[in-house]
Each structure stands twice: as C-alpha cells, then as structure tokens.
Amino acid sequence: MAAISFSSLHASATPRLFRPHVSRNTPGLTLYSRFTPSFSSPSLSFTLPHTARSLRPRPFLITSAVKTLTETELLPITEADSIPSDSGVYAVYDKNDELQFVGISRNIAASVSTHLKSVPELCSSVKVGLVEEPDKSVLTQAWKSWIEEHIKVTGKVPPGNKSGNNTFVKQTPRKKSDIRLTPGRHVELTVPLEELIDRLVKESKVVAFIKGSRSAPLCGFSQRVVGILESQGIDYETVDVLDDEFNHGLREKLKSYSNWPTFPQVFVKGELLGGCDILTSMYENGELGNMLK
C-alpha cells in the first residue's frame, strides 16, 4: 500500500497519521496505541481445560511444600492416569531424561497433554509438584525454585524456558494498534478532517470505523465486525470513533462523508461496504471471502 503523505496536516507538527508502531504493511501510517499488553512469560504455562478431567485414584499427596526437583519422582508421560489434574509445578523431560521445560499450571494433566500433542518428541516423562491452593504467587515460587535448582546444577536454563523459545508456550501475537487521525484535539489542522478520512479509506485495503479499539470493542456490532475481519486473516485498519481526543469530530464528519448514519462502518478498497449486518450477511454466504482475496 502506498504511504500516506500529507504536505500540511497541522500547524505545529509533522504531517502524518499517528500510530505508536509502524506496520510493515502500512509504512506511511504512524499511530499511537491504546492496547495494553497482558502479563505473559515464555516460562509460565497456565492451561485451563474445556472440561473437567476425571482420573482414577493416584498416589500423590497434595501439599504446598513442594519437593525439590531432584527429590521428585520421574513419571512416564504415557501413564496418563499417574499425572494429576491439580495445580502445581511440573518439569518435562525428553527420552534421554534431559529437562526440556519447567511450567506451572492449574491443571497439570491438561498442560502436559497439550505439550505431548504439540511436541511429542520432547515429552517422555515428567516430574510433578502439587500445591494445595492454586495461588499464582505460590505457583510462581514453586516454579522459580525448580528453575534455580536446575541452573545451579547444570548452569543452563531449560531450553523451553529460554527467552523467545515458544516451543512449549505459544505467545499470543500482539494485535495491531488503532489509527488516530490527528495528534490531538488541541492541535490545529490545516487539512480538513474529511480529507484525512478520504485519504485513509482510499489508501487502505480495508478500514473499519468502530466503537472502541480492535482489542476492546465497546459494542456488540463492533465486536462482531472485528471478529469477522480477524477470521479472514487479512490486514485491516481500525479507527475508534469514540476517541474524542485523537479522532475529535470524526463521528459526525464520517456520517456526512459516507452518507451512512450508524457505526461500525467498513470500507473496502476505498468504497463503503456497509455496517455489521451487511458484513455478516456477506461473510455467511461466502461473498466477503471472495471480495477480500
């Protein structure tokens, strides 16, 4: 997509659209993000099962006093009934009894089962330390003690716990930030807002003007639109029409620009496609997918 170049966007700032991080697909768009990253760590694994797992009685004593990594018994992963579905810390070993990953989970059996499906060649046996209460701080402390013990003995961090290694814990990709059309409501623009809208929709393949951000839509229709666009696996832009600081006056200006009274509004290849109802109908009959190819 060609870069959006503004010769005179406002009086006291460099002309441009604003985004905190520049997308590779939109090199000329610079924006600020309202996205707040959630807590994550490549070495922490919380897996919640869809259904409760019922297992046969097992010879485990649930206790908050987790044994050391060395003292804990190594169990074959193939013996599914021996792996508890309780909260605790666990260590996964390969067929050579080499430690690959230390994780914590509120359901150890479910977590180990997930690893076994995704990387079976690295999952041969496991050590398990149970905690009585699934408190995050207690779980983290148990995990930390096992990690530190392994490092002290081997001088190495388990491969699956190294920074950037997503073999055992898949990192959720960060969602693209929303476009802000101006640098702030108190900055005087020398280019009309309607022209900024026009340039954006014509120089972007897909633009969705929604209520809220793509990471946190503020109405059911906007949430539905974001969900449909995400399902298509395409690159698209979002603009929060409720952001009165950086998109001041956008709602009324967009209504006159598109001659469409409600939100969200979706533009494809410079033309108004419609709102949530039209997008949903086109999605359900397959027409949307063909249009976005």
SS (H, E, C) 96-150: CCCEEEEEEECCHHHHHHHHHHHCHHHCCEEEEEECCCCCHHHHHHHHHHHHHHH
Q: Please say whether the beta carbons of 70 and 192 come within 8 A.
A: no
Mean pLDDT, the chain, rounded, equals 80
Q: Which of 78-92, 112-126, 186-200 has the lowest mean pLDDT?
A: 78-92
Q: Residue 271 burial (CB < 10 Å; 0-12/13-18/19+)?
A: exposed
Q: Which of 54-63, 84-93, 210-219 has the lowest mean pLDDT?
A: 54-63
In this predicted structure, what is the pLDDT of residue 124? 94
Q: How confident is the model at residue 250 (pLDDT cuts 50, 70, 90)?
A: very high
pLDDT, mean of residues 33-52: 38
Cα distance between residue 270 and residue 282, in whole Å: 18
Tokens of 41: 């760590």
In this predicted structure, what is the pLDDT of residue 198? 97
Residues of the chain above pLDDT 70, percent: 75
In this predicted structure, what is the pLDDT of residue 1? 40
Q: Using one digit for the tens of pLDDT, what is the confidence trace for 126-155?
A: 999 998 776 788 889 999 999 999 999 999
Q: How confident is the model at residue 199 (pLDDT cuts 50, 70, 90)?
A: very high
In this predicted structure, what is the pLDDT of residue 93? 97
In this predicted structure, what is the pLDDT of residue 47? 40
Q: How do beta strands 99-105 and 237-240 pair?
A: unpaired
Cα distance between residue 185 and residue 245, in whole Å: 5
* Better-predicted residue by pLDDT, 254 or 64: 254
Q: Which H or E element spans position 208?
A: strand 206-210
pLDDT for residue 35 is more than 50: no
Cα distance between residue 223 and residue 211, in whole Å: 9
Tokens 């990690």 found at: 147
Nearest in space to 181 (alpha carbons), one of 161, 156, 199, 160: 199
pLDDT, mean of residues 259-286: 95
Cα distance between residue 202 and residue 4, in whole Å: 10
In this predicted structure, what is the pLDDT of residue 80? 59
Q: Which H or E element spans position 89?
A: strand 88-93
Measure the N-to-C terminal CA separation of the chain; round to a whole number of Å. 15
Cα distance between residue 198 and residue 154, in whole Å: 61
In this predicted structure, what is the pLDDT of residue 131? 85
Bond from prior residue into 42 cis (ω within 30 degrees of 0): no
φ, ψ for residue 57, nearest 5 deg: -55, 140
- Residue 182, classed as helix, strand or coil, is coil
